[in-house]
């Protein structure tokens, strides 16, 4: 098999818990989505690829090199981990520049690359603020900046859109597409199929530490489309936002589970995610985060996992 990442029967245990269980997949060039419910093994795979963990058995290569390997080939890879933790005492510019310096760039080159990367993620004006004051969305963007600043061939993005506001999601998605159009490769993980599907139709689906499907996902989409998709929004004015969303044809229901939170069920997540940023901008709404409650997706993954046994 050839690909930017090749996994052959990869197993990784945490004591008694199996993180990956004979995971085999071939991630081709371009953008590939790694989709699976929470706890499926996505982060384990990314940590193996980032050299944080070692495989217990099987073979895992990244750009033709063993994933555990260290050294210069790591400069060909950019990694955006899922946790929001950063060096909070640093400014955004310090953070990106320091990591570039660790990759061997001179002070001047690092500063120039940092400025470009921060501009690409629309953080130029916030570059001199400390990371501890960054919002969740800004943290995701500065993480994205550090992983593209050294111009890697392959970028690994672990749940990059998690907790990002609708406008931020749209701009990050555009950035990913631009990055791919420039001949780079991306592997993007998400527990929300629709997020990834808008970026690419190359999908690897993972559940219980195994790859359960790879490639075309129309069959899976059909399964998911038959169930209403649940989306949680965080907003200071749920009733106002709910009034607008409730008027959309594909929205089945709008609920207010707790203060500052809105739960929407829609039969057309594609339309929902496409239209939300426009609504937020035109109506001047504040939506702090958008999160897909993946209960329905879990059911589909269970269905697929059971079908393989």
Please report, for the chain, how many H helices and E strands are present, in that order: 10, 14
Q: Strand 185-190 and strand 261-266: pairing?
A: unpaired
Q: How far is the CB of 234 from another protein (least distance, A)?
A: 21
75 or 227, CB closer to another protein? 75
23 or 273, CB closer to another protein? 23
170 or 297, CB closer to another protein? 297
Q: How far is the CB of 91 from another protein (least distance, A)?
A: 11
C-alpha distances in Å from residue 44, one per residue of 49, 51, 100, 180: 9, 11, 25, 24
Q: How far is the CB of 53 from another protein (least distance, A)?
A: 5
What is d(CA 216, CA 73) in angstroms, rounded to the nearest whole number?
31
What is d(CA 111, CA 108) in angstroms, rounded to the nearest whole number?
5
Instruction: Name the phi and psi angles at 152, rounded to 5.
Output: -75, 160
Q: How far is the CB of 252 from another protein (least distance, A)?
A: 31
Q: How far is the CB of 101 from another protein (least distance, A)?
A: 4
Are 32 and 157 in contact by the 8 Å Cβ rule? The answer is no
83 or 215, CB closer to another protein? 83
Q: How far is the CB of 89 from another protein (least distance, A)?
A: 4
Would you give the distance in Å from CA 89 to the centre of its chain? 25
55 or 220, CB closer to another protein? 55
Give the three-class secondary structure for 308. helix
How would DSSP label each residue in 126-144? Answer: GTTSBGGG--HHHHHHHHH
Q: Which residues bind another protein (CB under 8 A)?
A: 14, 17, 19, 38-41, 43-44, 47, 50-54, 70-75, 77, 79, 81-83, 85-87, 89-90, 98-99, 101-106, 109, 146, 209
36 or 238, CB closer to another protein? 36
88 or 306, CB closer to another protein? 88
Q: How far is the CB of 238 from another protein (least distance, A)?
A: 28
What is d(CA 183, CA 178) in angstroms, rounded to the nearest whole number?
9
What is d(CA 180, CA 160) in angstroms, rounded to the nearest whole number?
15
Give the three-class secondary structure for 14. strand
In angstroms, how far is the first alpha carbon of the chain from the final one? 24
Q: Which two tokens stand for residue 217?
A: 């996902």
Q: How far is the CB of 32 from another protein (least distance, A)?
A: 19
Q: Nearest Cα to 234, choosing from 292, 194, 193, 189? A: 292
Q: How far is the CB of 33 from another protein (least distance, A)?
A: 18
81 or 92, CB closer to another protein? 81
What is d(CA 6, CA 18) in angstroms, rounded to the nearest whole number?
20
Instruction: Name the phi and psi angles at 17, rounded to 5.
Output: -90, 135
75 or 288, CB closer to another protein? 75
């Amino acid at each position: 098999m050839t690909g930017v990442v090749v996994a052959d029967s990869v197993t990784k245990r945490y004591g008694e818990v199996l993180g990956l269980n004979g995971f085999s997949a071939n991630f081709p060039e371009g953008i590939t989505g790694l989709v699976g419910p929470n706890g499926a093994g996505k982060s384990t795979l990314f940590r193996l690829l980032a050299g944080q963990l070692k495989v217990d058995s099987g073979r895992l290569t990244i750009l033709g090199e063993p994933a555990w390997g260290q050294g210069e080939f790591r400069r060909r890879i950019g990694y955006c981990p899922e946790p929001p933790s950063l060096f909070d005492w640093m400014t955004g510019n310090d953070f990106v520049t320091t990591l570039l310096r660790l990759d061997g760039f001179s002070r001047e080159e690092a500063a120039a690359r940092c400025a470009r990367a921060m501009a690409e993620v629309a953080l130029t004006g916030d570059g001199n603020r400390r990371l501890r004051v960054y919002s969740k969305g800004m943290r995701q963007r500065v993480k994205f900046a550090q992983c593209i600043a050294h111009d890697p061939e392959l970028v690994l993005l672990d749940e990059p859109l998690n907790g990002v506001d609708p406008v931020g999601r749209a701009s990050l998605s555009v950035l990913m597409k631009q990055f791919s159009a420039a001949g780079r490769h991306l592997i993007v993980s998400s527990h929300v199929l629709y997020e990834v599907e808008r970026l690419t139709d190359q999908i690897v689906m993972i559940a219980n530490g195994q790859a359960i499907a790879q490639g075309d996902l129309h069959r899976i989409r059909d399964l998911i489309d038959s169930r209403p998709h649940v989306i949680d929004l965080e907003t200071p004015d749920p009733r106002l936002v709910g009034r607008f969303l409730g008027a959309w044809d594909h929205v089945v229901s709008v609920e207010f589970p707790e203060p500052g939170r809105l739960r929407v069920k829609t039969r057309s997540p594609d339309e929902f995610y496409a239209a939300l940023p426009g609504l937020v901008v035109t109506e001047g709404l504040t939506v702090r985060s958008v999160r897909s409650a993946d209960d329905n997706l879990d059911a589909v993954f269970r269905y697929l996992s059971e079908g393989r046994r």
